[in-house]
């Protein structure tokens, strides 16, 4: 007989943990009716068990001793929502090794150690769920693992960091500088404690590594993801971008290129009319192309206690259903070790350059000849009337290798007649 009860140990009682605990306690009966399995929250591991909490838990449920969860043979599942790399990774590994299923919302651990932990879970014949590790409440991992499994995934392009999307939106619409827009994001409760996580693209790179690993069944470590944040975007770029028919977004992109993968995070000019151009505020959206399904867009709240708890508890209910179905063999995904990440130099993309140049004869000819020598074809060029000395000159290109585009930027910026290449952004 399958167990009619799944006993849960929860690690972490912060914003997400409180929502998970509340949901499990308040909906226990409804979930039991839905799955035929009683989801019982037994223990909660916290740093300080006597600190007042926003969720009222039965006496004795809180503990500060990891072994009360990890060494308790009665617990069948560990739910990890504490975050951070350590000790969370060690706890997850210990739980898996002792035969417990694991459900986690941990982006850092899954980005850096996901494939190894999934393989360990396969060997231990337990499940490791991580829907909540990327995109809060948006069903991404299960979509790749189940609904899109029949496809060869060609491309995943995502607005996956809510803070930078909010910040870029405020810079575009209200003309704010980066610091002022970021202060608004913090006041609204979006930004990470360390703003560099958002602004420099670390958060998006970790999320892309997880999504790409699942979508392409490749081992994509965040260190292999090419990464540029939004510090190089100037408020004036939004005006030029709009004039040219684009919005500026921080995108996370992964794409299949023959036997390799592109995996990159950087600001991109996205054409008006593309579904990702209209993603507003701190929302997230993931655009997927599969060979069978065509184009799919998934969007919603990418962070926050309740959306993230939706994914965590959803994973628990899926686990309960598998227990109820008496699933006996739980296997790890088979990663394709041949599929490696292409160096950014070899990625072909389009680019946008904004330069301040001397307003005099032969200047554009000198610039254009560098583009020509590097084999970079110009798609559009705008020059505004100058202030008497410097003129602003904006170019978009046709696709070229990123190495050629960056060499072009470097060579143009060294010309005597060029004051600076103020911005260099890619174009979708």
Hey, which residues are catalytic here? 207
Instruction: Determine the residue with CB nearest ligand HSE.
Output: 163
**Helices then strands (H, E): number in the chain?**
14, 18
- Supply φ then ψ for residue 50, to 5 degrees: -95, -10
Distance CA 359, CA 355 (A): 12
Q: What is the DSSP string of 227-255?
A: E--STT--HHHHHHHHHHTEEEEEEEEEE
Residue closer to ligand HSE (CB basis): 161 or 397: 161
Stretch that binds ligand HSE, among 68-76, 98-106, 113-121, 190-198 (CB under 6 A): 190-198
Residue closer to ligand HSE (CB basis): 163 or 408: 163
Are 270 and 225 in contact by the 8 Å Cβ rule? The answer is: no
Are 251 and 428 in contact by the 8 Å Cβ rule? The answer is: yes
CA torsion angle 85 86 91 92 (round to 10): 20
What b/e sequence results for 271-291 when a residue is b if at least 16 CB atoms lie within 10 Å of its CB, and e otherwise?
eeebebbebeebbbbbbbbbe
Distance CA 11, CA 288 (A): 33
Is 22 an interacting residue with respect to ligand HSE (CB under 6 A)? no
Contact set for ligand HSE, span 148-187 (CB under 6 A): 161-163
H runs (alpha helix) in 39-177: 67-70, 88-97, 107-124, 141-142, 162-174
Is 303 an interacting residue with respect to ligand HSE (CB under 6 A)? yes
Residue 115's contacts (CB-CB under 8 Å, 6 or more residues apart) are 213, 219, 333, 335
Residue 307 token pair: 């959306």
Distance in Å, CB of 13 to ligand HSE, minimum: 18
Distance in Å, CB of 119 to ligand HSE, minimum: 25
Distance CA 226, CA 291 (A): 25
Distance in Å, CB of 131 to ligand HSE, minimum: 13
Distance in Å, CB of 214 to ligand HSE, minimum: 17
Q: What is the DSSP string of 159-222?
A: E--HHHHHHHHHHHHH---HHHHHHHHHHTT-S-SSHHHHHTSHHHHHHHHHHHHHHH-----G
Residue closer to ligand HSE (CB basis): 112 or 409: 112
Residue 338's contacts (CB-CB under 8 Å, 6 or more residues apart) are 259
Exactly one of 267, 302, 305, 307 binds ligand HSE (CB under 6 A); that residue is 302
Residue closer to ligand HSE (CB basis): 131 or 203: 203
Residue closer to ligand HSE (CB basis): 164 or 396: 164
Distance in Å, CB of 333 to ligand HSE, minimum: 23
Distance in Å, CB of 18 to ligand HSE, minimum: 16
Q: Which helix (H) or strand (E) holds 319?
A: helix 305-324
Distance in Å, CB of 166 to ligand HSE, minimum: 8
Is 18 an interacting residue with respect to ligand HSE (CB under 6 A)? no
Is 311 an interacting residue with respect to ligand HSE (CB under 6 A)? no
- Largest pairwise CA distance in the chain: 86
# residues contacting ligand HSE (CB under 6 A): 9
Residue closer to ligand HSE (CB basis): 30 or 187: 187
Is 203 an interacting residue with respect to ligand HSE (CB under 6 A)? yes
Residue closer to ligand HSE (CB basis): 196 or 369: 196
Is 222 an interacting residue with respect to ligand HSE (CB under 6 A)? no
Residue closer to ligand HSE (CB basis): 76 or 203: 203
Distance in Å, CB of 117 to ligand HSE, minimum: 19
Exactly one of 198, 247, 315, 374 binds ligand HSE (CB under 6 A); that residue is 198
Exactly one of 154, 192, 234, 289 binds ligand HSE (CB under 6 A); that residue is 192
Residue 9 token pair: 């140990």
Exactly one of 190, 216, 287, 424 binds ligand HSE (CB under 6 A); that residue is 190
- Judged by the rule CB under 6 A, the positions of this chain that interact with ligand HSE are 161-163, 190, 192, 198, 203, 302-303
């Amino acid at each position: 007989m399958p167990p009619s009860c799944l006993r849960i140990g929860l690690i972490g009682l912060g914003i997400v943990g409180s929502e998970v605990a509340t949901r499990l306690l308040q909906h226990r009966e409804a979930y039991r009716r839905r799955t035929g399995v009683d989801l019982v929250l037994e223990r909660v591991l916290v740093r300080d068990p006597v600190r007042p909490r926003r969720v009222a838990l039965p006496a004795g449920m809180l503990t500060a001793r990891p072994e009360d969860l990890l060494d308790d043979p009665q617990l069948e599942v560990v739910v990890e929502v504490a975050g951070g790399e350590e000790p969370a990774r060690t706890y997850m590994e210990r739980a898996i090794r002792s035969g417990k299923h694991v459900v986690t919302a941990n982006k850092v651990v899954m980005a850096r150690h996901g494939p190894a932990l999934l393989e360990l879970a396969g060997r231990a014949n337990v499940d490791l769920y991580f829907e909540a590790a990327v995109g809060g409440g948006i069903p991404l991992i299960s979509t790749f693992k189940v609904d899109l499994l029949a496809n060869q995934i060609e491309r995943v392009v995502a607005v996956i960091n809510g803070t930078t999307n909010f910040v870029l939106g405020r810079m575009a619409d209200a003309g704010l500088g980066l610091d002022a827009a970021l202060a608004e994001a913090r006041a609204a409760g979006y930004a990470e404690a360390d703003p560099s996580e958002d602004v420099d693209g670390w958060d998006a790179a970790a999320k892309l590594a997880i999504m790409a690993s699942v979508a392409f069944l490749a081992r994509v470590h965040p260190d292999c993801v090419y990464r540029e944040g939004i510090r190089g975007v100037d408020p004036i770029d939004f005006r030029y971008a709009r004039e040219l028919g684009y919005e500026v977004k921080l995108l996370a992109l992964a794409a299949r290129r023959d036997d390799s993968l592109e995996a990159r995070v950087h600001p991109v000019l996205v054409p008006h009319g593309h579904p990702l151009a209209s993603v507003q505020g701190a929302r997230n959206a993931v655009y997927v192309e599969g060979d069978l399904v065509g184009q799919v867009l998934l969007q919603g709240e990418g962070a926050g206690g309740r959306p993230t708890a939706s994914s965590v508890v959803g994973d628990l209910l899926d686990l309960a259903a598998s227990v109820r179905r008496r699933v006996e063999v739980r296997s790890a995904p088979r990663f394709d070790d041949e599929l490696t990440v292409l160096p950014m130099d070899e990625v072909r993309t389009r680019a946008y350059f904004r330069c301040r140049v001397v307003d005099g004869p032969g200047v554009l000819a000198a610039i254009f000849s560098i583009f020509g020598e590097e084999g970079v074809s110009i798609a559009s060029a705008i020059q505004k009337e100058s202030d008497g000395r410097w003129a602003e000159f904006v170019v978009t290109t046709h696709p070229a290798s990123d190495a050629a585009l960056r060499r072009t930027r470097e060579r143009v910026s060294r010309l005597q007649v060029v004051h600076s290449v103020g911005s260099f952004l890619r174009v979708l």
